[in-house]
Amino acid sequence: MKKTLFLLFLIASLNAFGQSNSKFHKKAIVVDTHGDILSDQIKSGIDIGLRQKGGNFDLVRAKEGGLDVQVFSVWSDYTGGFNLANRQIDSLDALVKRHPSLIAKVRTAKELKMAIKNGKMAALFGVEGGHMIENTFENLDSLAKRGMTYMTLTWNNSTPWASSAYEETFKRDSLKQIGLSDLGIKIIHRMNDLGVIVDLSHVGEKTFYDAIQASQKPVMASHSSAYVFNAHQRNLKDDQIKAIAKTGGVIFVNFYSGFLDSTYAVKFSNFNSRHKKELIDLSSKLGSRSLAQEEINKKYQSEIEEIKAPLSLLIDHIDYMVKLVGAKHVGLGADYDGAESYPKGLEDVSKYPLITDALINRGYSKANVKKILGLNFIRLLKANEG
């Protein structure tokens, strides 16, 4: 009888704890600083104001997950530039126009808070890849005028004025410019003047430290994880994490399994090797390797699920950075719709409450959880307003 009563008490306590966390999560401001859905939206014509069967983001699931603020990534690969950036911003404006009761485009911290108060998602955008300004201040000014929150100085490709992490690592001997050029330093200064946050995800180490020195305002890494767990060129080393924090900036941790888990790349390569012939045939049929990969991943979902990083590893990355530089310098930059794998249980934006639960279960105070979920981004936004 005593054992039965104890079990009933334990179950009731856990339920109450879970309900308490749920209420706390709903009241907290939750921010994701990097989501890649806009490039998909202009290709497929989907309406992400409605629930989607695929992908990681739509406004319905975002509401379910308590996601209050989304910084949409305006992205292209090596070929896209200023015109493509504007097409993606147009698509965001069109989304807001279609669903004015659900989402509002904002630029300042004050506007962000007003949108949330009115029950809407606050939408901002950041440009991922300095190549999209096509080396002109005119284009930089134009994107800032349209509301650009941050600019990632490079994507995987370098620009004539800044070298990327990928090319500093794998193409260093062929680079004409390593680090920031004089033009790059002037671009940083113009970004400071315009209130555009300097984003150091994707940049090479030389560019990283040049930008830290050049910027007169706090900087960010919009979607990067910790190098100590996975020695990937896209992850940040301890000294880099400390350097961002020293500016008053914030590192927003990336959810991609390939950045979190040092064993993921080999597992994913083995997965593709097992299905190599099918992948080749499907690529030929669809005319796209990426579309073929998506189909293969769906077909063998149980295998894909098995190689995902555990949620606990994402929390390890967050926890490591917090212990290194403090809770006021860490946030969330999921990179949803920008990769093929995320931690188990974090399939889409409806799952953010799991992160809150995990942080509280690790012993984090609610004050520090609030900082990580969103308050750090709002502070950073205020600090960079022109």
Q: What would the pLDDT profile of 156-200 be if each residue is shown by its tens digit?
A: 999 999 999 999 999 999 998 999 999 999 999 999 999 999 999
Task: Indicate whether 12 pLDDT > 50.
Answer: no
Helix (H, G, I), strand (E, B) or coil at 141: helix
Contact yes or no for 34/200 (Cβ under 8 A): no
| pLDDT number for residue 303 | 95
| pLDDT number for residue 54 | 87
Per-residue confidence band for 4, with pLDDT thresholds at 50, 70 and 90:
low
Separation of alpha carbons 321 and 327, rounded Å:
8
Helix (H, G, I), strand (E, B) or coil at 329: helix
Which DSSP helix (H) or strand (E) runs through 148? Answer: strand 148-152
How many angstroms separate the Cα of 173 from the Cα of each of 163, 164, 180, 185, 232? 12, 13, 16, 22, 19
Token duo for residue 40: 């998909």
| pLDDT number for residue 7 | 46
How distant is the alpha carbon of residue 215 from its chain centre? 22
| pTM listed for this prediction | 0.93
Of the CA atoms within 13 Å of residue 320, those in its CB half-sphere come to 19
Contact yes or no for 154/130 (Cβ under 8 A): yes
Per-residue confidence band for 10, with pLDDT thresholds at 50, 70 and 90:
very low
Among the listed residues 352, 334, 316, 314, the one whose alpha carbon sits nearest the alpha carbon of residue 32:
334
Token duo for residue 3: 């054992």
- The whole-number average pLDDT for the span 231-240 is 98
| pLDDT number for residue 384 | 98
Task: Indicate whether 1 pLDDT > 70.
Answer: no
Amino acid at 201: S
Contact yes or no for 155/128 (Cβ under 8 A): yes
What values do phi and psi take at 165, rounded to 5?
A: -65, -40
pLDDT, one tens digit per residue, over 248-286 is: 999 999 999 999 999 999 999 999 999 999 999 999 998
| pLDDT number for residue 290 | 80
Task: Indicate whether 8 pLDDT > 90.
Answer: no
Separation of alpha carbons 386 and 312, rounded Å:
38
Look over the chain and give the mean of its residue pLDDT values, rounded to a whole number. 94
**Structure-model confidence comparison of residues 42 and 225, the more confident one:** 225
Separation of alpha carbons 52 and 291, rounded Å:
17
Task: Indicate whether 64 pLDDT > 70.
Answer: yes
Topology (CATH level 3) of domain 30-263+313-384: TIM Barrel (3.20.20)
Rg over CA atoms, the chain? 21
Q: Which residues of 297-327 are buried (b: 16+ CB within 10 A; e: fewer)?
A: beeeeeebeebbbebebbbbbbbbbbebbeb
pLDDT, one tens digit per residue, over 336-353 is: 999 999 999 999 999 999
Domain ranges for the chain: 30-263+313-384, 264-308
| pLDDT number for residue 43 | 83
pLDDT, one tens digit per residue, over 360-377 is: 999 999 999 999 999 999
Per-residue confidence band for 15, with pLDDT thresholds at 50, 70 and 90:
low
How many angstroms separate the Cα of 199 from the Cα of each of 153, 154, 190, 236, 256? 6, 9, 14, 13, 18
- Listing DSSP states for 283-309 in one string gives HHHHT-HHHHHHHHHHHTHHHHHHHSP
Separation of alpha carbons 121 and 96, rounded Å:
10
Task: Indicate whether 115 pLDDT > 90.
Answer: yes
- The whole-number average pLDDT for the span 210-218 is 98
Contact yes or no for 96/104 (Cβ under 8 A): yes
Task: Indicate whether 146 pLDDT > 70.
Answer: yes
pLDDT, one tens digit per residue, over 293-327 is: 989 998 999 999 999 999 999 999 999 999 999 99
Separation of alpha carbons 165 and 210, rounded Å:
13
Per-residue confidence band for 233, with pLDDT thresholds at 50, 70 and 90:
very high
